[in-house]
């Protein structure tokens, strides 16, 4: 509710600020008019000069006044809200053609829906954990109960926290180097280089992994203008297959209350690909099947299997 009110105040201040800008513009143009006209005809030269200077001074004063007014108003208006929960997509609400492109309302609905889903999933996972037989899992359930109204905070984690989690993971695995960048606002993108085997581009939304692409060590991961290329796939069939498996892993590793554990488990799983070309299949004992090495890694044991040998 407070949000709506503050928006109302802001709107009023906006209207005032706009009229203040108009006033400032007209007073400035008056100054230039006065300069352009120069000294009017008066009887004496002294009188002419005096009148001109007085006139000029008046105009300058009014410019000063208008400028002060505008500055005062600009403080009232405040910064455009950066902490909008939808980030830059919140600006869609400014689109005047609501009927033709109801994007914003749809976006809000989707956001609410996803928040609700996450909240319910959190509750469900808390309840399920209580029923678990393992003691460690049980404790987790209790701690979740202590703050039953946990808001879906995982979507709006501060970037600093994300940086910390990633750098901790980076230190955990010496053969893996993680480079974090934020080319488009707050969402982080990771470039993970695993030994001399492969490179992975990971697109994150706060601490959730949205998308991963696996490419070869010698493949280019940047577009022509030097940005990370998150759309094109690898030229090699092996890495296309590994990309598919990595996407499967994203769906497998889910723990809504502890997103940092999810990222860590995903990276641990990813690290097992350091032996992509060296490990034979654990079932058939061979390296190749249809020209591909064992691209699947078991989620628990991290053992290597061919895609068709894993069942």
Partner 1 sequence: MGVTCVSQMPVAEGKSVQQTVELLTRKLEMLGAEKQGTFCVDCETYHTAASTLGSQGQAGKLMYVMHNSEYPLSCFALFENGPCLTADTNFDVLMVKLKGFFQSAKASKIETRGTRYQYCDFLVKVGTVTMGPSARGISVEVEYGPCVVASDCWSLLLEFLQSFLGSHTPAAPAVFGNKHDAVYGPADTMVQYMELFNKIRKQQQVPVAGIR
Judged by the rule CB under 8 A, the positions of this chain that interact with partner 1 are 196-197, 216-218, 235-239, 277-278, 280, 286-288, 290-293
Residue placing its CB nearer to partner 1 in the complex, 144 or 198: 198
Residue placing its CB nearer to partner 1 in the complex, 73 or 304: 304
Q: Minimum Å distance from CB 292 to partner 1?
A: 6
Q: Minimum Å distance from CB 194 to partner 1?
A: 12
Q: Minimum Å distance from CB 244 to partner 1?
A: 15
| Adjacent-strand bridge partners of 228 | 222
Residue placing its CB nearer to partner 1 in the complex, 110 or 288: 288
Taking the C-alpha atoms of residue 205 and residue 253, their distance in angstroms, rounded to an integer, is 16
Q: Minimum Å distance from CB 246 to partner 1?
A: 15
Q: Minimum Å distance from CB 141 to partner 1?
A: 44
- The number of beta carbons lying within 10 Å of the beta carbon of residue 171 is 10
Does an H or E element contain 75, and which?
helix 45-77
Q: How far apart, in Å, are the Cα atoms of 141 and each of 122, 135, 260, 262, 270?
A: 11, 10, 17, 17, 28
Provide the token pair at 203: 């697109």
Q: Which of 271, 214, 272 minimizes the C-alpha distance to 239? A: 214
The span from the first CA to the last CA of the chain, in angstroms, equals: 54
Contact 217, 199 (CB under 8 A): yes
Residue placing its CB nearer to partner 1 in the complex, 123 or 309: 309
Q: 35: which residues sit within 8 A by CB, 6+ positions away?
A: 56
Taking the C-alpha atoms of residue 237 and residue 267, their distance in angstroms, rounded to an integer, is 22
Residue placing its CB nearer to partner 1 in the complex, 217 or 222: 217
Q: Which residue reads 């300058």 in tokens?
A: 60
Q: Minimum Å distance from CB 267 to partner 1?
A: 21
Contact 125, 256 (CB under 8 A): yes
E strand residue ranges, 57-175: none
| Adjacent-strand bridge partners of 217 | none
Q: Minimum Å distance from CB 276 to partner 1?
A: 8
Estimate to the nearest angstrom the gap between the alpha carbon of 131 and the chain centroid: 36
Residue placing its CB nearer to partner 1 in the complex, 21 or 292: 292
Question: What torsion do the CA atoms of 93, 96, 98, 103 make, to the nearest 10 degrees?
Answer: -40
Q: Minimum Å distance from CB 196 to partner 1?
A: 5
């Amino acid at each position: 509710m407070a949000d709506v009110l503050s928006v109302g105040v802001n709107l009023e201040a906006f209207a005032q600020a706009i009229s203040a800008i108009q006033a400032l513009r007209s007073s400035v143009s008056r100054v230039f008019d006065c300069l352009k006209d120069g000294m009017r005809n008066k009887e004496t030269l002294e009188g002419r000069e005096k009148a001109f200077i007085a006139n000029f001074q008046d105009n300058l004063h009014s410019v000063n006044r208008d400028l002060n007014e505008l500055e005062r108003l600009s403080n009232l208006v405040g910064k455009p809200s950066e902490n909008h929960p939808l980030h830059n997509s919140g600006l869609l609400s400014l689109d005047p053609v609501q009927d033709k492109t109801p994007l914003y309302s749809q976006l809000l609905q989707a956001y609410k829906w996803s928040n609700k889903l996450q909240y319910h999933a959190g509750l469900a996972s808390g309840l399920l954990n209580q029923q678990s037989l393992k003691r460690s899992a049980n404790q987790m359930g209790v701690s979740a109960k202590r703050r039953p109204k946990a808001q879906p905070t995982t979507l709006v984690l501060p970037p600093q926290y994300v940086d910390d989690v990633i750098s901790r993971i980076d230190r955990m695995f010496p053969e893996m180097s993680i480079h974090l960048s934020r080319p488009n606002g707050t969402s982080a993108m990771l470039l993970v280089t695993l030994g001399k085997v492969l490179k992975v581009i990971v697109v994150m939304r706060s601490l959730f992994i949205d998308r991963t692409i696996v490419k070869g060590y010698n493949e280019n991961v940047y577009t022509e203008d030097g940005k990370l290329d998150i759309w094109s796939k690898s030229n090699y069939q092996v890495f296309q297959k590994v990309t598919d498996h990595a996407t499967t892993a994203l769906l497998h590793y889910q723990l809504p209350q502890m997103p940092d554990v999810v990222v860590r488990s995903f990276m641990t799983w990813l690290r097992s690909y350091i032996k992509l070309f060296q490990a034979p299949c654990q079932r058939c004992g061979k390296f190749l099947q249809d020209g591909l090495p064992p691209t699947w890694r078991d989620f628990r044991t991290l053992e290597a299997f061919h895609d068709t040998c894993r069942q």
